[in-house]
Structure 1
Amino acid sequence: MIGWEDVYKVITAMTPLCVALALGYASVKWWHMFTPDQFDAINRFNCFFIIPFFNFKFISHINPYELNYPFLGADCIAKCIVLIVLVFWTNCTRKGSCMWSITAFSLCSLNNTLIVGVPLLKAMYGEVGEDLVVQSSVIQSLVWVIFLLFMLEFRREWSKTKSITNTINGDLQLQAIECGSDLDQNSTPMSMSINKTPSIWSILKIVWLKLAKNPNFYACIAGLIWALLASRWQFKMPEIIEGSILIMSKAGAGVSMFSMGLFMALQERVIACGTPLTLFGMALRFMVSPVTMAIGSVVSGLHGNVLRIALIQAALPQSIASFVYAQEYGLHPDILSTAVIFGTIVSLPLLIAYYALLEVAR
């Protein structure tokens, strides 16, 4: 049973995040130390240097041969349910949007497993809770973060290609009007070849090449390879390498929250996305995610404390890294920042309430 000492441990783990957030906010709002361009540079540094080291550190220290596969299978099923619903919404409804689907997937799927999840689940369920939430974090980095990055790169490349094609088409039409001719009837083979919104395969090729160069991608893959080899032959990473990784990875959460504070200060209001979208994000994070996880848990046959851990970890607050990616790729960073901030604030009483309900339902 979770007690006041356990609650204090969780608050102790979360307070440094608030301090980093406040420092970032104050450095712009009151001290005027950073400009928007400098904020973008800080966020990019975090996205392509610090977070890859952070992901490598945790992935490289797991034992891939001792994972709880039913638990991870339930998590995979839950996220696949979200994906199926979003694909249907995007392609079969008038209001469907690829951009909003990516943001909704991030809100439903990426949670703060390490900073909030580890101390909270350890307090609730002991070493088993800590072990499972770390496994969830590793799979999140290996599979779902990479998938999110793929979708973000695809969306960026698709928008760029569409913009270039529209510009070329507009120039061709303008030339045709100036020449007093009809482009559709009198266009030359050269102009027609220029006129061809590239194929989906050519865009996918560009996306995969960019993703392969993304440090977040190969940091996860390198971490998995190291974990497989180290667990198989029982050897440890040299201290000189371990120290080099640690000095960068430890800055991950702090720099991310500081960057979020900068973003907040640059907005006209604290709730950057407005109340309706804030409630929408909270509903996806704390209601839709646990519901889909419950379905996945039933399909995977989870029971006992493993089932309870699965449901609570699905309701953890929003991943801090999701804001960093949203800002870097220019896709709804206001919604993600608000989800992280308010989600972290309300998560402790909400998750304790979930824990109490699950204990009563034993």
Structure 2
Amino acid sequence: MIGWEDVYKVIVAVVPLYFALVLGYGSVRWWKIFTREQCDAINKLVCYFTLPLFAFDFTAHIDPFKMNFLFIGADTLSKLIIVAVIGLWAKCSSKGSSSWSITSFSLCTLTNSLVVGIPMVKPMYGALGVDLVVQGSVVQAIVWLTLLLFVLEFRRTGLEGTIRTTSNSLKPKASSISSVMMGEDEERKDLEVNRIGMDVILEDGSSKLPFFELMKRVWLKFIVNPNSYACVVGISWAFISNRWNLELPSMVDGCILIMSRAGTGTAMFSMGIFMALQEKVISCGPSLTLFGLVLKFIAGPAAMAISAIVVGLRGDVLRIAIIQAAIPQSITSFIFAKEYGLHADVLSTAVIFGMIVSLPILVAFYAILEFIH
């Protein structure tokens, strides 16, 4: 059984995250150190430098030949169940949309496994728990976060194409005398077109760009984003290094570590900055906050429980699978949401509230699961 000493160890591991968050919040709200433009630059630093190197660092040091593929299979099946349910909701419900489908998937499935999961699971299940959580984190980083990144890039590219195409089609043809007289009217129409284009892509994900042109633009942006291949390079090196007993040169390893160690701290700092820029700390409101918590701590673990039983997981592996599905929201999902302008307020609230309530919830999960054989 987990004791008070183990609970204290979990708290010790979580408190530094809040320290970084408070520093980010205070730097904008209390001390006025950063402007809004500088805050955007900090978010890009996190998204394009510290997080990719952090992801590469932990991915490159696993042993892919010793992964529990039943556990990975259960994790994959649970996410496919979530995708199916969300897709059915988006198709059949009048409130369904592509934008909320993306956010709902993030809330249900993406966890902060390395930062929060390991210190929470280790006192519960020891080395076995840590090993499985790390494996789940690697698959999440390589497959699911990459897929999320691709979908977000697809959405943004489609949005830009819709705005440009709609703008060009609605601009009036004018003579060189009338062009001066209609200047203000064109500016007004351009602003309206931008608003219409935003509404179109946000409501149903449609785009007036040809499909192959859209895919080309998405791919070109995708391949220059370091988050899209950091984990792929990392797992490739893991296969090579474990197959032939190789190690990274100390100089290369040091270059990676100096930035990757800043990944978690700068991500939390960036989230604190985002909170400070909002009128309210919990900017999405109580209804969406409750919605996010239900998806994170009920829908996600329920889908994992069904999947784990279906693939035949038993004992501690089954318990760990359910526990890791209830780990608080992924900080990376918030960083992506902020970068791509999709419900960042909901994701930041999920990260904050999730970390606050996760300790008692996970301890309760642990106690209940002890009765499962």
Calculate the TM-score normalised by the size of structure 2.
0.89
Q: How many angstroms does 1:123 deviate by? A: 0.6
Q: Kindly tell me: are residues 128 and 203 of structure 1, through their superposed partners in 2, closer, same or farther at Cα, counting changes over 3 Å?
A: same
Q: Is the 8 A contact 2:54 2:261 kept in 1?
A: yes
Q: Which amino acid aligns with 1:286?
A: F
Give deviations 1:302-338, integer Å, cap 9, x for gaps.
Answer: 1100000000000000011111111111111100111
The root-mean-square deviation of aligned C-alpha atoms, in Å, is: 1.6
1:269 alignment partner, one of 258, 263, 280:
280
Q: Which amino acid aligns with 1:168?
A: N
Q: Name 1:218's counterpart in structure 2.
A: 229
Does residue 67 in structure 1 map to residue 62 in structure 2? no
2:297 alignment partner, one of 258, 270, 286:
286
Give the distance between the partners of 1:210 and 1:87, measured in 2 at CA. Answer: 26
Does residue 124 in structure 1 map to residue 135 in structure 2? no
Q: Which amino acid aligns with 2:135?
A: Q
Give the distance between the partners of 2:242 and 2:172, measured in 1 at CA. Answer: 60
Q: Kindly tell me: are residues 60 and 171 of structure 1, through their superposed partners in 2, closer, same or farther at Cα, counting changes over 3 Å?
A: same
Give the distance between the partners of 2:364 and 2:172, measured in 1 at CA. Answer: 62
Q: Is the 8 A contact 2:158 2:209 kept in 1?
A: no
Give the distance between the partners of 2:228 and 2:28, measured in 1 at CA. Answer: 32
Q: Is the 8 A contact 2:108 2:296 kept in 1?
A: yes
Give deviations 1:77-126, integer Å, cap 9, x for gaps.
Answer: 01111111222222343322111111111111110101111111111011
Q: Which amino acid aligns with 1:61?
A: H
Q: How many angstroms does 1:30 deviate by? A: 1.1
SS in structure 2 opposite 1:360?
coil
Give the distance between the partners of 2:10 and 2:79, measured in 1 at CA. Answer: 27
Q: Name 2:157's counterpart in structure 1.
A: 157
Paired residues in the alignment total: 344
Give the distance between the partners of 1:172 and 1:224, measured in 2 at CA. Answer: 53
Q: Which amino acid aligns with 2:123?
A: A
Q: Is the 8 A contact 2:47 2:335 kept in 1?
A: yes
Q: Is the 8 A contact 2:54 2:263 kept in 1?
A: yes
State how 1:1-362 maps to structure 2 within 5 Å.
1-172=1-172, 197-362=208-373
Give the distance between the partners of 2:161 and 2:174, measured in 1 at CA. Answer: 20
Q: How many angstroms does 1:173 deviate by? A: 7.8
Q: Which amino acid aligns with 2:212?
A: W
Sequence identity percentage: 55
Give the distance between the partners of 1:232 and 1:172, measured in 2 at CA. Answer: 64
Q: How many angstroms does 1:198 deviate by? A: 2.2
Q: How many angstroms does 1:300 deviate by? A: 1.0
Q: Is the 8 A contact 2:109 2:300 kept in 1?
A: yes
Q: Is the 8 A contact 2:315 2:372 kept in 1?
A: no
Q: How many angstroms does 1:209 deviate by? A: 1.9
SS in structure 2 opposite 1:34?
coil
SS in structure 1 opposite 2:370?
helix
Q: How many angstroms does 1:172 deviate by? A: 4.8
Specify every segment of 5 or more residues in structure 1 that has no aligned partner in the other structure, as ranges.
Answer: 179-195
Give the distance between the partners of 1:92 and 1:278, measured in 2 at CA. Answer: 24
Give the distance between the partners of 2:124 and 2:104, measured in 1 at CA. Answer: 29
Calculate the TM-score normalised by the size of structure 1.
0.92
Q: Is the 8 A contact 2:108 2:299 kept in 1?
A: yes
Specify every segment of 5 or more residues in structure 2 that has no aligned partner in the other structure, as ranges.
Answer: 179-206
Give deviations 1:108-146, integer Å, cap 9, x for gaps.
Answer: 111010111111111101100000000000000000000
Q: Kindly tell me: are residues 83 and 174 of structure 1, through their superposed partners in 2, closer, same or farther at Cα, counting changes over 3 Å?
A: farther
Q: How many angstroms does 1:26 deviate by? A: 1.1
